[in-house]
Structure 1
Amino acid sequence: MTGFIGIDWSLTACGVAAYNDGEWDRCTIATKPDDGTIEGYLDRVHGIAAKVDSWADPADGDIWAIEGPSLGAKGSALDRMFGGWWLTVNDLTEHHEAPWVFAPSSLKKLATGKGNASKDEVLLATERRVPDAAVTNNNEADAVWAAIGASILAGQPIIELPAAHTKGLTRTLKGKL
């Protein structure tokens, strides 16, 4: 059976969830601020990718999925957030198939039926619909839904959802099937 790995990328607390052989596992990869140099930042981002890869320990054929950056995000560190996301995707594709990318609104809709749900609504939906995942925070919840989205599009749904939740589910960037 194909394994599914979901990632909710964050510079401070990256959520990762894996579904393999009917079992969930999840973790949060936390990092500390870098020293403010370009080299320090790059080391931090590459470290996140290495920790995700090491924790997930993917097998050939596993499908990676990642929540895309929020295009409505604001703040002074936006360039670093987008850049770090792309660097992580690049690092992961050096050793694996390209991850499937889902818009944040797609994952919210999967979880709750509405694309503008709050992070707490997604967390609550995860606890209700996927209790075996035993998520401990919003980042892990988002990662679970990335894995679920990939499983649905791969034709191996981890859970059954109402049609309203899956209507319009697409990847924003496509990796190989």
Structure 2
Amino acid sequence: MKGFAMDLPTPKLDEVCTLYVELDVIREMGAGRAGHRRIIPIVGGTVTGARLAGRILNLGADWQTIFAGGLAELDTRYAVETDDGAIIEIINYGFRHGPEEVLAAVARGEEVDPTAYYMRTHARLETGDERYDWVNRTLFVGVGARFQQAVQVTLYALT
């Protein structure tokens, strides 16, 4: 068709950082409109990587919905303070699901191979600090793992 590009670029993923997110005790809300609701406070952690490094601030939470069949909808909002003093907001949305026995082991706080279940996110980062303005114009995806009182997510820039 005239006027349409035939050879679009193939997106690539560039690793940006790994988030080690420390969690407080789960606050159970009970059954909601779509599933079981719970809030998991985010109380700290670290950010390591070549493009972003710093600490996760003691604020924010993961507002989860657990659907029939075990699908967890992850909906987080928190902030990072970089080693050089910038504040970056992170809004991370995604899904965690897998075989029932694997999810039960994760729920018990057991160490589970992260390849045994699916935990993927897409993240929006935002800052007013000019040194990190690139995060305002970049799409991010993440791969994660859940531990007893923590989550690990590696973020990749979609380029």
TM superposition score normalised by structure 2: 0.31
Higher RCO, 1 vs 2 (CA within 8 Å, ≥6 residues apart): 1
Q: Which is richer in strand?
A: 2
Q: Which has the larger radius of gyration?
A: 2
TM superposition score normalised by structure 1: 0.29
